């Protein structure tokens, strides 16, 4: 086979495997809810100021 084909397949396979591993490692980490918690706190403070 053509050496460029081997190189292309290797790069493609490496990108796919790397993407899958990165996705799996990222999905194991808990979501960061600091921004949502801050916005909820601000909304509650604003609502309490209005009433």
Distances from the Cα of 39 to the Cαs of 29, 32, 33, 34, 49, in angstroms? 22, 13, 10, 9, 15
| Domain layout of the chain by residue ranges | 3-50
The predicted structure's pLDDT at residue 2: 92
The predicted structure's pLDDT at residue 8: 97
The predicted structure's pLDDT at residue 49: 82
Tokens 């993407």 locate to: 19
What is the C-alpha to C-alpha distance for residues 36 and 42, in angstroms, rounded to an integer?
A: 10
The predicted structure's pLDDT at residue 41: 96
Kindly report the pTM of this predicted structure.
0.55
CB neighbours of residue 29 within 10 Å: 7
Q: What confidence tens digit (pLDDT) does each residue in 1-51 have?
A: 899 999 999 999 999 999 999 999 888 877 778 888 999 999 999 988 887
CB neighbours of residue 39 within 10 Å: 10
């Amino acid at each position: 086979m053509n050496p460029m084909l081997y190189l292309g397949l290797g790069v493609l396979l490496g990108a796919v495997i790397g993407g899958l591993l990165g996705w799996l490692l990222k999905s194991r980490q808990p979501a960061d809810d600091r921004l949502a918690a801050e916005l909820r706190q601000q909304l509650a403070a604003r609502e309490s100021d209005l009433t």
